[in-house]
């Protein structure tokens, strides 16, 4: 009889708190539609791994399936890299290719990463600080790869922060953008003329990016290479079936395992620490300063340009594709219902995707050895 | 909390500013090179298209 209830005595308050956190993630995913593909598996996983003596994770010599998945797909960075093939196949670089100067905003909006690196270094050692700073890449797979390669002690908290803040972009960005811009600036119109982009350019672009990124930031080659491989499959025109599989089946399969496997790092004893709160705060700092970096860069450019840029588009360089572009577009429409910035913001947004990966590679170049 | 307060080292912010400088410089160089390469690609392939029309 005792065998039926003895595990109840292994339950502690911390585990129940983690169930609540898991419940909140599930609530945000379902009710608020915040990154449901990741927050829901992570929320359920948080409950799963915080049951006393949970068989889902390794207990003593008994290996658990989530621990095995973690070793097989995250510890070696395989899942996020495979997911990048799917993401690359989903992205249309067209708006960026027809206006390449927009890429500079993607670069400027990585400021939050490096600002947070300095801030986090006041509390953590440099490798952990760098892993925390990369939350500002607003790109889950990049955060996982950098955190794993730098062997951060806080990988669970970093992954939760990275994905949660990506979901919170529509809440985080608007107040920062409003704070840094005037109503007049937010109403600036930007002409958009869709210049034709040749198929040759679309095919050569992913190949050349991989070569350039590899030459300057060799540590970024895996990330950039997998992203661009996915894009090459999309653009080559002879692999439509593979492109569709990468965009849908492959990306969905990896996402299912990614979310729940990340949760294996959310065991109460590792997660419920003051450090976790500090990491969540630093992640927010990274997103705020990324946004500020993009907006301020656009304002600086406006000092020299005759045709003014709407500084709000700088904020879309944060990556977090495609939410950030949509946020800027909606804000512009709110100020002036006839001002459409979607294409410009989307161009900046995809440039942020490239820039964030390169920022991850640079961070690895600095701290990997 | 106590452990974090023990680790708090404000001078690290200043010491690591060089990474901020290097990082932003690096990212602008790489993205700038990609932007230039894209402009060049657009230019070369556009003139090819024009030629083929002629």
CB distance from B13 to chain A under 8 Å? yes
Residue A211, pLDDT score:
93
Q: Hey, are the CB atoms on B24 and A122 less than 8 Å from each other? A: no
Lowest mean pLDDT among A1-5, A275-279, A298-302: A1-5
- Give the tens place of pLDDT for each residue, A53-67: 999 999 888 899 999
A313: in domain? yes
pLDDT top residue among A354 and A192: A354
* A69 falls within a domain: no
pLDDT reported for residue B1:
55
Model ipTM value: 0.86
Average pLDDT for chain B: 81
Q: Is residue A225 part of a domain?
A: yes
A274 and B49 in contact by Cβ < 8 A?
A: no
Average pLDDT over residues A321-337: 90
For the residues A263-274, what does the mean pLDDT come to?
Answer: 87
Contact B27 A362 (CB under 8 A): yes
Within 10 angstroms of residue A215's Cβ, the number of other Cβ atoms is 11
Give per-residue pLDDT as tens, A130-187.
Answer: 999 999 988 888 998 999 899 888 888 898 888 878 878 888 999 999 999 999 999 9
Is some CB atom of chain A closer than 8 A to the CB atom of B1? yes
Render pLDDT for A177-209 as a digit per residue (tens, 0 to 9).
999 999 999 999 988 777 788 899 999 999 999
Higher pLDDT, A117 or A323: A117
- pLDDT for A316 equals 94
Inspect the interface and report whether the beta carbons of B35 and A100 lie closer than 8 Å. yes
The reply to whether A58 falls in a domain is: no
* CB-nearest partner of A123 from B7, B45, B46: B7
pLDDT of amino acid B52: 47
Q: What is the pLDDT of residue B54?
A: 42
A344 lies in some domain: yes
Which whole number is the average pLDDT over A31-51?
Answer: 89
Q: How confident is the model at residue A254 (pLDDT cuts 50, 70, 90)?
A: very high
Contact call for residues A150 and A368 (beta carbons, < 8 A):
yes
A21, part of any domain: no
Burial class (CB in 10 A: 0-12, 13-18, 19+), A184: exposed
Range of the domain at A275: 87-367
What global pTM score does this model have? Answer: 0.87
Is the pLDDT at B43 greater than 70, yes or no?
A: yes
pLDDT in tens, A2-29: 777 888 888 899 999 999 999 998 998 8
User: B8, B17, B26: which to substitute to probe chain A, counting the most A Cβ within 10 Å?
Assistant: B26
Pick A123's closest partner by Cβ from B4, B27, B32. Answer: B4
Q: What is the mean pLDDT of chain A?
A: 90
Taking the C-alpha atoms of residue A327 and residue A122, their distance in angstroms, rounded to an integer, is: 32
Task: Choose from A94, A111, A112, A118 for mutation: most chain B CBs within 10 A.
Answer: A118
In a domain, A8, yes or no: no
Asked if residues A345 and A319 have their Cβ atoms less than 8 Å apart, the reply is no
Residue B46 has pLDDT above 80, yes or no: no
The answer to whether residue A37 scores a pLDDT higher than 50 is: yes
Give the minimum alpha-carbon distance from B19 to chain A in angstroms, rounded to a whole number.
Answer: 7
Cα distance between residue A160 and residue A24, in whole Å: 12
Instruction: Give the per-residue pLDDT at A157.
Output: 87
Chain A, nearest residue to B13 by Cα: A118
Nearest CA to A26 out of A37, A40, A16, A45 is that of A40
HEC-encoded secondary structure of chain A: CHHHHHHHHHCCHHHHHHHHHHHHHHHHHHHCCCCHHHHHHHHHHHHHCCCCCCCCCCECCECCHHHHHHHHHHCCCHHHHHHHHHHHHHCCCHHHHCCHHHHHHHHHCCHHHHHHHHHHCCCCCHHHHHHHHHHHHCCHHHHHHHHHHCCCCCHHHHHHHHHHHHHCHHHHHHHHHHHHCCHHHHCCCCCCCCCCCCHHHHHHHHHHHHHHHHHHCHHHHHHHHHHHHHHHHHHCCCCHHHHHHHHHHHHHHHHHHHHHHHHHHCCHHHHCCHHHHHHHHHHHHHHHHHHHHHHHHHHHHHHHCCCCCCHHHHHHHHCCCCHHHHHHHHHHHHHCCCCCCHHHHHHHHHHHHHHHHHHHHHHHHHHCC
Residue A10 lies inside a defined structural domain of this protein: no
Q: Do A117 and B23 touch (CB under 8 A)?
A: yes
Give the pLDDT confidence score for residue B53 in this predicted structure: 45
Are A195 and B42 an interchain contact pair (Cβ–Cβ within 8 Å)?
A: yes
Does residue B43 sit at the A interface (CB-CB below 8 Å)?
no
* pLDDT for the residue numbered B3: 60
As for how many domains chain A has, the answer is: 1
Q: Please report, for residues A144, A168, A210, A254, B45, the alpha-carbon distance to residue A80 in angstroms, rounded to integers and kept in the order given.
A: 7, 21, 18, 8, 34
């Amino acid at each position: 009889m005792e065998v039926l209830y003895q595990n109840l005595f292994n339950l502690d308050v911390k585990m129940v708190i983690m169930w609540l956190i898991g419940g909140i993630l599930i609530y945000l995913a379902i009710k608020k539609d915040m990154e449901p593909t990741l927050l829901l598996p992570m929320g359920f996983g948080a409950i799963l791994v915080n049951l006393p003596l949970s068989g889902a994770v390794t207990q003593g010599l008994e290996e658990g399936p989530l621990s095995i998945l973690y070793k097989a797909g995250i510890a070696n960075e395989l899942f996020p890299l495979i997911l990048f093939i799917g993401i690359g196949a989903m992205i249309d670089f067209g708006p960026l290719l027809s206006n390449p100067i927009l890429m500079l905003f993607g670069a400027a909006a990585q400021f939050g990463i490096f600002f947070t690196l300095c801030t986090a270094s006041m509390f953590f050692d440099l490798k952990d600080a760098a892993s925390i700073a990369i939350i500002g890449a607003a790109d889950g797979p990049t955060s996982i790869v950098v955190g794993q390669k730098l062997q951060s002690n806080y990988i669970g908290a970093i992954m939760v922060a990275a994905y949660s803040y990506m979901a919170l972009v529509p809440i985080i960005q608007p107040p920062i953008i409003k704070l840094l811009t005037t109503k007049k600036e937010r109403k600036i119109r930007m002409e958009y003329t869709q210049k034709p982009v040749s198929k040759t350019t679309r095919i050569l672009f992913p190949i050349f990016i991989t070569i350039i990124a590899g030459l300057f930031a060799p540590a970024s080659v895996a990330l950039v290479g997998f992203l661009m491989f996915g894009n090459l499959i999309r653009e080559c025109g002879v692999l439509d079936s593979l492109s569709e599989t990468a965009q849908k089946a492959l990306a969905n399969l990896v996402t299912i395992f990614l979310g729940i496997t990340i949760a294996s790092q959310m065991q109460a004893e590792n997660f419920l620490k003051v450090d976790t709160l500090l990491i969540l705060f630093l992640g927010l700092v990274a997103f705020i300063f990324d946004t500020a970096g993009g907006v301020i860069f656009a304002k600086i450019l406006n000092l020299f340009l005759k045709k003014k840029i709407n500084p709000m588009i700088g904020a879309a360089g944060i990556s977090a594709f495609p939410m950030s572009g949509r946020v800027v577009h909606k804000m512009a429409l709110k100020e002036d219902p006839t001002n459409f910035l979607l294409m410009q913001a989307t161009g900046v947004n995809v440039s942020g995707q490239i820039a964030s990966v390169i920022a991850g590679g640079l961070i690895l170049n600095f701290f990997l050895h | 909390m106590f452990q974090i307060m023990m680790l708090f080292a404000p001078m690290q912010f200043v010491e690591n500013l060089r990474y901020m400088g290097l990082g932003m410089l690096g990212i602008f160089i790489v993205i700038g090179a990609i932007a230039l390469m894209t402009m060049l690609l657009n230019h070369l392939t556009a003139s090819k298209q024009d030629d083929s029309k002629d």
